[in-house]
Amino acid sequence: MATLFVSYRWADREAASALVAALRKRGHEVRYDSEMVIGLAWREKLLSALLGSDGMVLLWTERTASSQHVAAEVGAVRATPRIALMPVLVGDVAIPDFIQDLFAERVQDLEPATIEALAGGLDRSIAAHLEMRDRRPKDRPRIFISHRHKDEPIVRELVMCIEASFEIAPGDIRCTSVRPYRLPVGQATSERLRDEVAEAEVVLGILTPDTLQSTYVAFELGAAWGQRVWTCPLLARGADQKNIPDPIRDLSPLFLTNEAECLQLLGDMQRFTTLTARKAVDNAVLLDRCRRLAQAAAA
């Protein structure tokens, strides 16, 4: 079963509640804004619920187009490929421009029988999405670390931070300078790296003032940008915004010299990837690893 988020206009809350009940009857955990309580930081709570879901059901009626909140929720999901977006169009409404590339379910009403049938269709759709999302070749990494080999000390500390936070198998990370995450011997480097970038859940780009002298780093980050893979510019050794390659310069970077931003990276990875967090993370060890990473990034 899956964790689902239902996005809708408040005026359609009755129909949304009925759909939530039908999905829950099929065993799904469903989140939506009717569960918000007085005094809660609701925007933060809703965003956290959305980004922690396997899929979002978009209930689009003639009243939805004027909702900025619904549009923002769709934008957040479209930027997070691991979350399925399942639009449901009610009546004869036009499909919005920003989801015209997606197949949308269309129903003529929201009567109880229609909602039951709709929930069954959504149940099958989310099952197919989960199967496709989890069908990853055994030798394809979830995390791809793009870097120059001269920055191996930074990368090694970054890998140790990741290992302290998540259950990591040797195939989960591709890092060409740190064992056991290097390329297998005899591989066609450019072709293999291109495929791995495209299939990664996140590409971590270590950027220093002279990184862009490396054609491989430019190649890898360009491939990630072109494939719309979640790409994180990580600045070190005094690098700043001007050291980010042009295609991804509008992406928000993190400074690895800042321990708090190192921790933020790990938290973001927990939300936006399918990596499994360690059940008993030793916070003292994790903080020490982040401190070491920040020191290496500043060296």
Element (H, E) at 112: helix 112-134
CA dihedral 70, 71, 77, 79 (to 10 degrees): -160
- pLDDT band (50, 70, 90) for residue 174: very high
Q: What dihedral do alpha carbons 27, 135, 200, 75 form, nearest 10°? A: -40
Is the predicted pLDDT of residue 51 greater than 90, yes or no?
Answer: no
- Residues 250-278, mean pLDDT to the nearest whole number: 93
Q: Which residue has the higher pLDDT, 246 or 270?
A: 270
Rounded to whole angstroms, the Cα distance separating 257 from 189 reads 31
Instruction: Please give the share of the chain, as a percent, with pLDDT higher than 90.
Output: 48
> Would you place residue 40 in the very low, low, confident or very high pLDDT band (cuts 50, 70, 90)?
very low
- Distance CA(24)–CA(22), nearest Å, equals 5
Q: In Å, how far are 227, 233, 236, 247, 254 from 250, measured between CA atoms?
A: 16, 10, 18, 8, 13
What's the confidence (pLDDT) of residue 38? Answer: 41
pLDDT tens digits, residue range 65-104?
A: 888 778 888 888 887 767 889 999 999 998 888 888 888 9
Of 3-17, 53-67, 212-226, the one with minimum mean pLDDT is 212-226
Give the pLDDT band (50/70/90) at residue 44.
Answer: low
Between the two ends of the chain, the Cα-to-Cα distance in Å is 47
Which helix (H) or strand (E) segment is 151 a member of? none
Q: Which of 25-29, 127-131, 186-190 has the highest mean pLDDT?
A: 25-29
Measured distance CA(4)–CA(281) in Å, rounded: 27
Q: Which of 49, 233, 47, 53 is nearest to 133 (CA)?
A: 53
* Bigger pLDDT: 152 vs 132: 152
Q: 93, 10, 99: which is closest to 56 by C-alpha? A: 99
For the chain, which domains are there? 3-134 (3.40.50.2300), 143-298 (3.40.50.10140)
